C-alpha cells in the first residue's frame, strides 16, 4: 500500500518515520524542506504538493496545524483533491473543528473521495515511540480497512462515530487535559504557599483518587522547572478555541474551558506560548507570588 503523508512537523515527522519502519511505501510533502529531507533519508519519496501526493497514493494522511491548513492541503490549489482518483481516502489526523471536518468531507465526497478524521493525543514522545491514542470518525468500513495502518502509529485506535466524531473526542480530551493541568497547578501552588513541600504533596496524593496520567506527566515538569514543549500552550489555545466554537454552535456551555482559555491567553501575553502546557502553573505562581519547586 502506497501512503501519502502531508505535514512533517513535531508530530507528523515521527509518525511518518514509524510508517516507514513498518514497511509502508511513503510519499511525503511539507513546506519545510529540511523535514522532508530527513524523512526521505529514512526511505520515503517526496512530492511538491498534495496533488502530486494524491496522484501516487490510494490513501493520504494529513497532519497539519488547524482547519484552514487542512482545507488548503486537501481542497486548495494543487491540493489532494486535484490529484486524487475516485475512491481515494483522506485520513486527516490534525486536530481541527469537527464542523470543518464534516464540511471538508462533504466537498471531497462530491469528487468520490472518502474522508476520516483521526486526531491524536499523546504529544511528541508518544508520536516518536508509536503509542499515540487515535480517535476516529467516518465510515466504519473505512475504519476497519485502515485500522492496522493507524495502529502502526498508535497504542490505541478507537472508532467514535460518523465523520467529525474523532475531533469531538479530541476536543473533549483537550478540555479534560487543560482543566486537569490547571487543577494540579492550583493544588501544588496552594501546597507551596501553605509551607508544605509540593513534591511530597504530589507523592502523597498521586496514588489516590486525585492521581491521573496528567498529574504524573506534568507535576514533575512543574517541580523541576522543565517546560520544554511536549505540547505547546499556543497549540492548546488553538484546540480550546475550536472547542469553544464547536460547543457554542450547539449551545453546550463550557465554562471551565472558557476559564482555561483566559489563563492560557494570559500566559501567551507573558511570552510563554512556546512552552509546554505544564507552564499553566506559572499563571498560579504569578497570582500567588510564589514558585512551585521543592
Give the pairing of strands 120-121 and 132-137: antiparallel
Alpha-carbon distance of 294 to 286, in angstroms, equals 17
Check if 218 is active-site: no
Write down the residue that cell numbers 466554537 correspond to. 245
Grid cell digits, residue 223: 517541580
Alpha-carbon distance of 135 to 194, in angstroms, equals 41
272 CB neighbour count, 10 Å cutoff: 20
Write down the residue that cell numbers 475516485 correspond to. 86
Grid cell digits, residue 54: 494524491
For residue 213, give every residue at least 6 positions away whose Cβ sits within 8 Å of its Cβ, in sequence order, or none.
Answer: none
- 17, 51, 126, 170: which is the annotated catalytic residue? 170
Residues acting as catalytic residues: 170
Amino acid at each position: 500500500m502506497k501512503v501519502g503523508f502531508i505535514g512533517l512537523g513535531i508530530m507528523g515527522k515521527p509518525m511518518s518515520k514509524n510508517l516507514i519502519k513498518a514497511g509502508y511505501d511513503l510519499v511525503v510533502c511539507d513546506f519545510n524542506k529540511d523535514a522532508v529531507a530527513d524523512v526521505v533519508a529514512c526511505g520515503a519519496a517526496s512530492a511538491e504538493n498534495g496533488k502530486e501526493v494524491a496522484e501516487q497514493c490510494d490513501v493520504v494522511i494529513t497532519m497539519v496545524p488547524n482547519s484552514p491548513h487542512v482545507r488548503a492541503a486537501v481542497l486548495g490549489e494543487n491540493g489532494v483533491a486535484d490529484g486524487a482518483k475516485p475512491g481515494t481516502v483522506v485520513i486527516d489526523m490534525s486536530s481541527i473543528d469537527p464542523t470543518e471536518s464534516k464540511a471538508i468531507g462533504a466537498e471531497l465526497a462530491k469528487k468520490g473521495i472518502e474522508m476520516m478524521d483521526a486526531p491524536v493525543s499523546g504529544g511528541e514522545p508518544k508520536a516518536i515511540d508509536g503509542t499515540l491514542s487515535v480517535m476516529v470518525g467516518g465510515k466504519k468500513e473505512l475504519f476497519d480497512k485502515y485500522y492496522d495502518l493507524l495502529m502502526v502509529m498508535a497504542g490505541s485506535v478507537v472508532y467514535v462515530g460518523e465523520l467529525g466524531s474523532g475531533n469531538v473526542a479530541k476536543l473533549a480530551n483537550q478540555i479534560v487535559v487543560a482543566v486537569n493541568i490547571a487543577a494540579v497547578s492550583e493544588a501544588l501552588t496552594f501546597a507551596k504557599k501553605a509551607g508544605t513541600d509540593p513534591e511530597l504533596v504530589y507523592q502523597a496524593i498521586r496514588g489516590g483518587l486525585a492521581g491521573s496520567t496528567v498529574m504524573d506527566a506534568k507535576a514533575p515538569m512543574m517541580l523541576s522547572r522543565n517546560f520544554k514543549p511536549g505540547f505547546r500552550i499556543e497549540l492548546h489555545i488553538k484546540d480550546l478555541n475550536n472547542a469553544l466554537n464547536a460547543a457554542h454552535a450547539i449551545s453546550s456551555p463550557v465554562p471551565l474551558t472558557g476559564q482555561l482559555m483566559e489563563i492560557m491567553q494570559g500566559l501567551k501575553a507573558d511570552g510563554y506560548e512556546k512552552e509546554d502546557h505544564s507552564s499553566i502553573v506559572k499563571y498560579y505562581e504569578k497570582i500567588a507570588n510564589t514558585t512551585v519547586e521543592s
